Amino acid sequence: MLTPLTDLSPDDLSALHEQLSDEHAELVARGVSLNITRGKPSPAQLDLNADLLTIDIPSHAEDGQDVRNYGGNRGLTEIRRIFGELLGVDVDHIIAADNSSLSIMHDLAMFAFVHGIAGEKPWFGQNVKFIAPVPGYDRHFAICEHLGIEMIPVELGEHGPDVDEVAKLAADPSVKGMWVVPMYANPNGVVYDEETVRALVSMPAAPDFRMWWDNAYALHHLTDTERPPLPVLQWAEEAGNPDRVFELASTSKITFAGDGISFLASSKANLDWYLGHAGIRSIGPDKVNQLRHAKYLGDAEGVRKLMRAHREMLAPKFALVDEILTNRLGGRGVATWTHPTGGYFITLDVMDGTASRVVALAKEAGIALTSAGASHPLHDDPHDRTIRLAPSFPSMGELREAMEGVSTCVLLAAAEKLLAS
């Protein structure tokens, strides 16, 4: 049983610090280059879809549309049908676009700033605010920061944010949006439950308040329990707020991260509003790629089968991270971490005031971590404790080496802080 660092005598703590400093110096001397910053599919995962590059497809879609030509801004019916079934959305309420759902998220905000939503005034010139559950996704926060949107952090609980706190904030008419990653949230793996979701779609809010419902990990299970996505659009309609939700998804971590398809699901009014503005920007998406995906994936069950193959590669990596953290940090009183059942990330919470130091020590040792604070708006983690770990890209050997090094850095940073105090 390992002894908590706070229970060590000053002499024992000094001895441990010296030992950890030597271990860190050895890491630095090795000159490794390891990266666990972002949730990228590994080369082996990308190779699962090698046939996508060579599949033969016809020139026309099932509706007779020539996919080589302009038009079709809703995307092909055959790919919308597959992902509509997977997301629990009617095919008429989902559109298929190009490779990046982040682009759609950005455009939704831009269109709101320039043109307004639902007949309301454009957001430009207003003191627009978004509710930002934390820890959260740095690229969501970057959109807000780029557009000058004030973010109000709300802590994520086991089943989502505190709905009473969110409802109180949403009652302010200047609060226009909220970021939500409802399944296996980035970075802590939280899964929103029905009670939370029904409360979010029912609460009073401004007429142009929208939830950016980023269902990026809806199909990315790490266990045999394959949770179905919650029918948020249906519940919003039942609550009398059919336009509240912009639901986003993509194939980025299903097929090829840089050459996939993104989706926007919402009410008819919201889709008409979006397409009315998006149609000025583009005459239509890459329908050749959409047809290629539809033919390759086949149907919803084809996607589920593919995701099980991804799981076979990912689950051992998540288990390895947990094993190393348990062996090195368990019982030390310097860190806690999540045990996600899906998604791409593990959240490591280190001793308060040491996350930045851990990241810096890791960098010295050639181990790249996501910057401390990235999981909070404006990179401001008030406790300086949260670090996002992304196990997907490295090989098992590289991941083991990286996590052993990270564990050393966590312990060293904690020992430094305790000695200084």
Percent of the chain with pLDDT over 90: 99
8 φ/ψ angles, rounded to the nearest 5 degrees: -75, 150
Interatomic CA distance for residues 93 and 266, integer angstroms: 6
Q: Looking at the predicted structure, is the pLDDT value of residue 186 above 70?
A: yes
Domain membership of residue 219 (yes or no) is: yes
CA 386/CA 376 separation, integer angstroms: 9
Mean of the per-residue pLDDT values for the chain?
A: 98
Domain-located, residue 55: no
Which residue, of 278, 299, 320, is where some domain finishes? Answer: 299
Is the distance from CB of 359 to CB of 369 less than 8 angstroms? yes
One domain for residues 258 and 382:
no
Average pLDDT over residues 191-195: 98
Spatial separation of the C-alpha atoms in residues 245 and 390, rounded to whole Å: 28
Q: What is the dihedral of CA 122, 197, 309, 189, to 10 degrees?
A: 90
Q: Give CA–CA dist 258/417, Å, rounded.
A: 42
Question: Given this model, what pLDDT does residue 149 score?
Answer: 98
Biggest CA pair distance of the chain:
79
Q: How many domains does the chain have?
A: 2
pLDDT value of residue 104? 98
- Where is the domain boundary, 265, 299, 333? 299
The answer, yes or no, to whether residue 117 has pLDDT greater than 80, is yes
Task: Note whether residue 364 is domain-resident.
Answer: yes
CATH number at residue 217: 3.40.640.10
CA distance 206 to 176: 7
In this structure, the answer to whether residues 137 and 74 fall within a common structural domain is: yes
Average pLDDT over residues 234-260: 98
Listed in sequence order, the DSSP H helices in 72-193 are 77-87, 101-115, 138-147, 163-170
Give the up-direction half-sphere exposure of residue 40: CA atoms within 13 A in the CB hemisphere.
Answer: 12
Rounded distance between C-alpha atoms, residue 285 and residue 263, angstroms: 11
Same domain, yes or no, for 181 and 315? Answer: no
Nearest Cα residue to 211 out of 236, 188, 238, 178: 178
Last residue of a domain, one of 299, 323, 344: 299
- Burial code of 79-101, b = ≥16 C-beta within 10 A, e = fewer? bbbbbbbbbbbebebbbbbbbbb
Whole-angstrom distance, CA of residue 76 vs CA of residue 86: 16
Task: Clarify whether residues 174 and 221 are in a common domain.
Answer: yes
Query: Residue 1: pLDDT band by 50, 70, 90 thresholds?
Result: low
Residues 229 and 165 in one domain: yes
User: Could you check whether the bond before residue 182 is cis, i.e. omega within 30 degrees of 0?
Assistant: no
Task: Tell me the three state secondary structure of residue 382.
Answer: coil
For residue 326, being part of any structural domain is answered with: yes
On the question of pLDDT at 2 being above 90, the answer is no
Structural domain includes residue 206: yes
Q: Do residues 313 and 172 share a domain? A: no
Residue 421 burial (10 A CB sphere; 0-12, 13-18, 19+): exposed
Q: Tell me, yes or no, whether 187 and 116 share the same domain.
A: yes
As a whole number, mean pLDDT of residues 336-364 equals: 98
User: Is residue 164's pLDDT more than 80?
Assistant: yes
Q: What is the mean pLDDT of residues 195-216?
A: 99
Residue 297 phi/psi, 5-degree rounding, is -75, -35
CA distances from 220 to 103, 156, 224, 376 (A): 21, 20, 11, 23
Is the bond leading into 187 cis (omega within 30 degrees of zero)? yes
Q: How far is CA 44 from the centre of its chain?
A: 21
Q: Is residue 104 part of a domain?
A: yes
- pLDDT tens figures, 139-149: 999 999 999 99
What DSSP element (H or E) covers 242? none
- Both 356 and 239 in one domain: the answer is no
CATH number of the domain within which 334 lies: 3.90.1150.10
**Domain residue limits at 147:** 61-299
For residues 28 and 87, membership in a common domain is answered with no
> What pLDDT digit, counting tens, does each position of 40-66 carry?
999 999 999 999 999 999 999 999 999
Angle at 97 between CA 94 and CA 98, to 5 degrees: 155
One-letter amino acid for residue 394 of the chain: P
111: helix, strand or coil: helix
Sheet holding 386-389, edge to edge: 335-337, 346-350, 386-389
Which is nearest to 81 in space by CA: 305, 307, 298?
A: 298
Q: Identify which of 152, 159, 165, 161 has the alpha carbon closest to the alpha carbon of residue 189.
A: 159
Within a domain: 367: yes
Per-residue pLDDT reduced to its tens digit, 301-326: 999 999 999 999 999 999 999 999 99
167 exposure class (CB count in 10 Å sphere: 0-12, 13-18, 19+): middle
User: Rounded to whole angstroms, what are the CA distances from 294 to 60, 76, 159, 290, 300?
Assistant: 12, 9, 34, 6, 10
Cβ within 8 Å of residue 258, ≥6 positions away? 99
Whether 338 is covered by a domain: the verdict is yes
